[in-house]
Amino acid sequence: MEGTLNQAVPSGDIFPSIEELCEKIFEEPLFNRRMLIAEAYIKKLMRTDEISLPFFDGVDYILRQKGTGTLKQLARHLCYSERQVQRIFLDAVGTTPKQLMSLVRYQSVWQELVAVRNIDYMNIVCRYGYTDQSHFISDFKKYHSVTPREAVRIMLE
């Protein structure tokens, strides 16, 4: 995906046979099976023989931290400099570890919002390392285009 940041690129240029994937996913009624279909598709696209072990270790660390860590913490965990960690991620997936952490944090928050009906937003702000509630809302809107409260309301309709 290198070179696609802030670009308008047809999805078929990056993800071959994306239409077939979408059909398979939406034909499947069970969410867990949808995930498996998507994961299998992504695995076929990845060149895992070219991706370094520190990248996989870094992704594991980011997922376990639910995206709340910092580049400095990740670099310390991997025993590399921050700049080298950035190179490893850029080479593997064409994005920085900070961007990946932000996406993972958003996904973790969204999963929690979907799972818990009685949402304590200040608790989320604290647990996921947001500076304040407005920072949380603006970060959420970056990915979801609406506030967390609106997203949950739309999902429940």
| 124, part of any domain | yes
pLDDT of residue 107: 92
Tens of pLDDT, residue by residue over 20-78, are 888 888 899 888 888 899 888 877 777 666 678 899 999 999 999 999 999 999 999 99
Range of the domain at 119: 100-156
Q: Say which CATH number the domain at 124 has.
A: 1.10.10
C-beta of residue 96 within 8 angstroms of C-beta of residue 105? no
| 147, part of any domain | yes
Q: CA angle at residue 116 from 114 to 122, to 5 degrees?
A: 105
Q: Which residues, 6 or more positions from 58, have their beta carbon under 8 angstroms from its beta carbon?
A: 74, 77, 78, 85, 88, 89, 97
Residue 82 binned pLDDT confidence (cut-offs 50, 70, 90): very high
| 22, part of any domain | yes
Number of domains the chain contains? 2
User: Model's pTM, two decimal places?
Assistant: 0.71
Least-confidence region, from 38-47, 70-79, 122-131, 139-148: 38-47
* DSSP one-letter string for 54-110: HHHHHHHHHHHTTT---HHHHHHHHTS-HHHHHHHHHHHHSS-HHHHHHHHHHHHHH
Amino acid at 148: P
